[in-house]
Amino acid sequence: MSSTVTRTRSPRRLGDLVFSGAAFGASLTILVALAGVAIFLIIQGIPALGAEPSDLNGKPNLLAYTAPLVFGTLWAALIAIVIATPLAIGVALAVSHYAPKRLASPLGYLVDLLAAVPSVVYGLWGIGFLGPRLVPPYEWLDQHLGWLPFFAGPASTTGRTILTAAIVLAIMILPIITAISREIFSQTPRLNEEAALALGATRWEMIRLSVLPYARSGIVSAVMLGLGRAMGETMAVAMVLSASGVVTFNLISATNPSTIAANIALSFADATGLKVNALVATGLVLFVITFVVNFAARAIVSRADRSVSR
Amino acid sequence: MNMPQNLGRAPRRILVPGITALALGLALSACGASNEGSSSGKSAETLDGAGSSAQESAMDAWRSAFQKDNSNVTVNYDPSGSGAGIEKFNAGGIDFAASDSALNADKGEIDAAKKRCGADAIEVPNYVSPIAVLYNVQGVKDLQLSAKTIAQIFDGKITKWNDAAIAAENKGAKLPSTTISPVHRSDESGTTDNFTDYLEQASEGAWSHPADKVWPIQSGEAANGTSGVVAAVGQGDGSIGYADLSQAGDLSSVKIKAGSAYVAPSAAGAAKAMEASPVEDGRPESDIAIKVDRKSTEAGAYPLLLASYLVACPTYDDAKTADNVKGFLSYVVSTEGQQAGADNAGSAPLPASLQEKAAKIVDTISSKG
């Protein structure tokens, strides 16, 4: 009663006006920034269409220059996702359903802490710690599974391969996927879970029957967000990966595909003229790919949400 | 009950939007401020330079020494890369640039610099540094290789350390059958440019790629920056790479074949090779570009070196800038300056003849009017 009275009596207070204006302004800033980035990338990238081979590391045209980088970007991100997704879902389930409460929340915080580690630190760790320790496993893979194209070798002597880079990426995207999945798992309707248990389901069966179907769309969007992060990650990849710009599925050799972001970071400092435009053009391609991934995630989530609410 | 609640809420009603407005205002003004910074921060008593990252540690030594004698001048140097330095210089953003390769006429850099300065730009060599071919092979010391063998190793033609070509140059050495893992730079660099130039010129046709800042072949291990290459060579048994000698650390470096003898990398050897090299012709008078003779047979000369240059204008609009550029550059190419660079960065002091020429050119810097 009293709230309706105040609303009709003073429809516009100063505070309301200022706040709505400020909030609206803030949201506009985002739009302006995004549009600004897109416009910059397009304007600076277009001249690269006329780039000569000398500006493109000897590649005949922009497409031939960008294609191996796109491959490397998607390939590294894909491996990272394949490693990170099962791990993240496992951690999220442990936190939300398995671990005793006293253990669960510290575990959750620890995973979140992984997101606070700067990517340069991950890069250093990958070069100095992880890489050298992966050399013996890579040699083993080369000797015993060398018939698979993934492990064709020759094994790298420093361990700075695309698989190492993907493992580092997987650890970097783990907190994103875990955090979102964990939230969704814990939102599973209690009634569904109890109904499954009442029917005699074990805890794993309960999770399979009630938690996972409910959380499916959330998991997908979490994975998509992780994928976006993995594709855009620059510093860690630039440091860890021994990149030569080839197109290969070989995971353990010293000669690896490069990624768009890492290539920009490595080439920009000494680039001049059209070469800068070419790098910006690859940045535009990455921008578009990331957008597509994010839109795909939104589409999947909204479709699944509709089917859940029905 | 209603009243106190309202009273309690009232401040918040103002506070929250107030904070938001304040934050937004701050964000916007921060944007504005950062835009202004670049134009208003430049007073007559600062000297801005940018370019070669290879020169960074020598530049640090020069800057601090120059500022000690000229306490009213601040010299800024941004080691953002040779290409970026030249581009900024030609756009008029900085007072001088440092570059690992001389201005390139084909890319229009000489003309662009001339346009910026209103006259032929000044370009003098100021930093010479030997590039070492580093290796990490268990049980092998004093490795000696010719440019031809080095080219074949980096090209992937020679793949084992006990290859006949390596054994022939290292009689009596116990070479293991380890696979060779050649390491190159993954970023663009003047070091790669000079190394590939050396391979192209001196390898008797074994290297078929033109000199380039980007590593031309898609094989072998790639590492980011000098430190990355040194780390990668240090980690992998059987690795071989190239890096500035001053950064080589504990790694052993190859003695390369020059003429009939094998020469270990040293600052003195690099200076000798520099002295024996001809000046590139067809360039403006104020522009000294050295065409390093990679096939030098001079005794003790080490032809695998990086020569880096300073680029500046012959005239500046305002007298203070002209004086400061002239003062700083004169110091850098002076005997003391070169020695300071050698002490701090392990570079080779310019040979006397070149140093004299460079000093003479720098001396012509003046103000307009």
> Residues B278-322: pLDDT tens digits?
888 888 888 889 888 888 888 889 999 999 999 999 999 888 889
Q: Are A265 and A203 in contact (CB under 8 A)?
A: no
What is the pLDDT at residue B239?
Answer: 92
Q: Which residues of A touch B235 (CB under 8 A)?
A: 131-132, 157-159
What is the pLDDT at residue B10?
Answer: 46
What is the pLDDT at residue A134?
Answer: 92
Kindly report the nearest CA distance between residue A271 and chain B, in angstroms: 5
Q: Residue A11: pLDDT band by 50, 70, 90 thresholds?
A: low
Backbone angles phi, psi at B132, to 5 degrees: -95, 145
The average pLDDT across B87-93 equals: 88
In one letter, which amino acid is A242?
S
C-beta atoms of A269 and B83 within 8 A: yes
Q: Residue B40: pLDDT band by 50, 70, 90 thresholds?
A: very low
Q: Which residues of B touch A156 (CB under 8 A)?
A: 181, 221, 236
C-beta atoms of B17 and A22 within 8 A: yes
Residues ≥6 apart with Cβ < 8 Å to B356:
none
C-beta atoms of B235 and A23 within 8 A: no
Kindly report the nearest CA distance between residue A144 and chain B, in angstroms: 18
What is the pLDDT at residue A288?
Answer: 93
More confident position, B234 or A4: B234
What is the pLDDT at residue B12?
Answer: 54
ipTM of predicted assembly, 2 dp: 0.71
Q: Residue B140: pLDDT band by 50, 70, 90 thresholds?
A: confident
What is the pLDDT at residue B20?
Answer: 56
Q: What is the dihedral of CA B9, B10, B14, B19, to 10 degrees?
A: -30
What is the pLDDT at residue A9?
Answer: 56
Q: Which residues of A touch B2 (CB under 8 A)?
A: 2
Q: Residue B38: pLDDT band by 50, 70, 90 thresholds?
A: very low
Classified by CATH at the fold level, domain A61-309 comes out as MetI-like fold (1.10.3720)
Which among A61, A11, A84, A51 has a CA at the least distance from the CA of A273? Answer: A51
Residue B3 has pLDDT above 60, yes or no: no
CA-based nearest residue in chain A for residue B13: A15
Please tell me which of the candidates A15, A132, A154 has its beta carbon nearest to residue B235. Answer: A132
What is the pLDDT at residue B34?
Answer: 41
Alpha-carbon separation of residue B253 from B85, B173, B248, B264, B270 (angstroms): 31, 15, 8, 7, 15
More confident position, A260 or B28: A260
Residue B21 has pLDDT above 60, yes or no: no
> Residues A35-45: pLDDT tens digits?
999 999 999 99
Asked if the C-beta of A114 comes within 8 angstroms of chain B's C-beta atoms, the answer is no
Q: Which of residues 62-101 of A touch B (CB under 8 A)?
A: none
Q: Are B273 and B260 in contact (CB under 8 A)?
A: no
How much of chain B, in percent, has pLDDT values that exceed 90?
Answer: 33
Helix (H, G, I), strand (E, B) or coil at B257: strand
Which among B128, B106, B129, B103 has a CA at the least distance from the CA of B287? Answer: B103
C-beta atoms of B107 and A269 within 8 A: no
What is the pLDDT at residue B334?
Answer: 92
C-beta atoms of A18 and B18 within 8 A: yes
Alpha-carbon separation of residue B91 from B52, B84, B96, B118 (angstroms): 17, 10, 11, 13
What is the pLDDT at residue A176?
Answer: 92
> Residues B146-202: pLDDT tens digits?
999 999 999 989 989 999 999 999 888 889 988 899 999 988 888 898 999 999 999
> Residues B43-77: pLDDT tens digits?
458 899 998 888 888 999 999 999 988 888 999 99
What is the pLDDT at residue B142?
Answer: 87
Q: For residue B367, what are the β-bridge partners?
A: B316
Both tokens of residue A243?
């990149």
What is the pLDDT at residue A195?
Answer: 92
Asked if the C-beta of A26 comes within 8 angstroms of chain B's C-beta atoms, the answer is yes
Asked if the C-beta of A131 comes within 8 angstroms of chain B's C-beta atoms, the answer is yes
| Range from A94-98, A187-191, B18-22, B146-150 carrying the lowest mean pLDDT | B18-22
Residue A101 has pLDDT above 90, yes or no: no
> Residues A165-188: pLDDT tens digits?
999 999 999 999 999 999 999 999
Q: Are A161 and A251 in contact (CB under 8 A)?
A: yes
- Upstream peptide bond of A154 is cis (omega within 30 degrees of 0): yes
Residue B351 has pLDDT above 50, yes or no: yes
> Residues A124-146: pLDDT tens digits?
999 889 988 998 999 899 888 88
Average pLDDT, chain A: 87
Please tell me which of the candidates A15, A18, A156 has its beta carbon nearest to residue B221. Answer: A156
